[in-house]
Structure 1
Amino acid sequence: MDTQLSQEIKRALSTMRRQNREIRKLILKEDGMKVIKCTGKSKSPKFDLRTLNQHLIK
């Protein structure tokens, strides 16, 4: 049971690190881009954290 939990935590941390790397790339690419809290309702097609997550998990 502990091994499953530790593996799940490692996977979550890995996903978070990949998210951070991708977000940094996006921010560096566009000077005026700001990262905002995702409310689930997409207002701007420029950046969508949910779509980013789906691509990272695949």
Structure 2
Amino acid sequence: MTVPETPNAPRSEVGNTDIDERADRIKLLQSRVAALGPVDPDFDMKAFTDELWDEESP
């Protein structure tokens, strides 16, 4: 059985997936994330989201 394409697949479908298939899928996702580029160590997620909330205020 393969991993369902949708992230919200029923747990029963995901639970039957072979451990090697899961590991392969994780490796694929890790390589796709790495291809996005390096992480900015100076990025402040809290400051970023606080700024977004300020922009949405009436």
TM-score, reference length from structure 2: 0.39
TM-score, reference length from structure 1: 0.39
Task: Please say which structure displays the higher CA radius of gyration.
Answer: 2
**RCO comparison, higher one (Cα < 8 Å, 6+):** 1
